[in-house]
């Protein structure tokens, strides 16, 4: 008889919210360090990796150890997140778009922590991040619109709207 406490880990890829993309970046490691090309742009400023994405602004943000920055969304801009390998954040995504085929779906994506990937977040998808580590989290994010403090495109939802357990580490 099988022991119900013993199970096999599921390593199959998880379905992503419609429009969300996770792109694995190439990383060249040498004796003196490493190099990663984050994004290439054509002559008109459009991303070659994310078709239709025109960068308007590049931002840098930090997140204190143990902190949660969530939930918020943008109605007029798309964004791309990059967390350097020496930093680590867990991004949370929640599809609250009325007409989306994945409405209500959530995703959790680990960024940094030795991985080298970018996360594309389409407008209308609520998002945030938690820093489980004991060091400062760093995030670079590209956006398609300039920030306007007189009319900010930043719409907030309570951090625990899906329950506080959403932001806890998943345990085996």
Per CATH, the number for 64-146 is: 2.60.120.10
pLDDT in tens, 63-88: 999 999 999 999 999 999 999 999 99
Query: Which of helix, strand or coil describes residue 167?
Result: helix
Distance, CA of 117 to chain centre: 10
pLDDT in tens, 29-44: 899 988 999 999 888 8
C-alpha span between 16 and 136 (Å, rounded): 27
pLDDT in tens, 102-144: 999 999 999 999 889 999 999 999 999 999 999 999 999 999 9
Residue 58 binned pLDDT confidence (cut-offs 50, 70, 90): very high
For residue 12, pLDDT over 90 is answered with: no
Of the candidates 136, 38, 42, the one whose C-alpha atom is nearest the C-alpha of residue 80 is: 38
Name the least confident of 26-30, 94-98, 106-110.
Answer: 26-30
For residue 150, pLDDT over 70 is answered with: yes
The H or E element containing residue 90 is strand 88-95
C-alpha span between 53 and 63 (Å, rounded): 26
Encoded tokens for 65: 């150890």
Mean pLDDT, range 10-38, rounded to an integer: 90
CB 75 within 8 A of CB 124: yes
Domain borders along the chain are 64-146
């Amino acid at each position: 008889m099988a022991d119900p406490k013993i199970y096999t880990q599921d390593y199959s890829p998880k379905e992503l919210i419609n429009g969300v993309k996770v792109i694995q970046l190439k990383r060249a490691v040498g004796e003196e360090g490493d190099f990663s090309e984050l994004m290439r742009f054509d002559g008109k400023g459009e991303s070659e990796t994310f078709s239709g994405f025109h960068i308007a602004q590049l931002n840098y943000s930090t997140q204190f150890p143990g902190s949660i920055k969530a939930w918020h969304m943008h109605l007029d801009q798309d964004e791309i997140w990059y967390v350097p390998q020496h930093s680590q954040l867990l991004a949370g995504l929640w599809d609250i778009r009325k007409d989306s085929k994945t409405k209500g779906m959530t995703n959790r994506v680990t960024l940094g922590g030795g991985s080298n990937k970018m996360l594309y977040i389409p407008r209308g998808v609520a998002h945030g991040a938690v820093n489980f580590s004991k060091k400062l989290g760093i995030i670079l994010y590209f956006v398609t619109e300039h920030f306007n403090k007189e009319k900010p495109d930043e719409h907030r939802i309570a951090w625990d709207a899906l329950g506080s357990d959403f932001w806890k580490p998943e345990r085996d």
